[in-house]
Amino acid sequence: QVQLVESGGGLVQAGGSLRLSCSASGRTFSYGMGWFRQAPGKEREFIVAASWSGDSTYYAPSVKGRFTISRVSAKNTVFLQMNSVKPEDTAVYYCAVIRSVAAGTADYWGQGTQVTVYS
């Protein structure tokens, strides 16, 4: 089992920045990590991921050029830097252990952290 704990969510003005963090603990192995988000009344959206080696990444068109994923593998920590945020970025953001970056599938999830963007 892997436990994931997110932090860094909150209220941010449109055009601003926010950084989310996720720490993994428990069973350790080489795995990809990423982020999903779910806005009210919408399906969960796969937005960004990076493989263990970092040679494979994915950014959804909705966030590409504005969000950046980075990780400190030795510390099982992944970050999501969110720049130029928009009201439509408002959602609960979930950290995940990624089974396949290409397929956007996950094996473990965090509890989620709320991000609210106001204009």
pLDDT, tens digit, 9 for 90 and up, residues 9-34: 999 999 999 999 999 988 756 788 99
| % of the chain surpassing 90 pLDDT | 73
- In tens, the pLDDT along 60-88 reads 999 999 999 998 877 788 999 999 999 99
pLDDT at 119: 94
* Mean pLDDT computed over 40-57: 91
Closest CA to 92 of 22, 17, 19, 37: 37
Diameter of the chain measured on Cα atoms:
41
Q: What is the mean pLDDT of the chain?
A: 92
Give the whole-angstrom CA distance, residue 84 versus residue 89. 10
CA distances from 93 to 27, 37, 50, 55, 74 (A): 23, 4, 16, 23, 23
* Mean pLDDT computed over 33-59: 92
Q: Is 113 exposed, middle or buried (0-12, 13-18, 19+ CB in 10 A)?
A: buried
* Mean pLDDT computed over 32-58: 92
Sequence length of the chain is 119
Closest CA to 92 of 117, 68, 56: 117
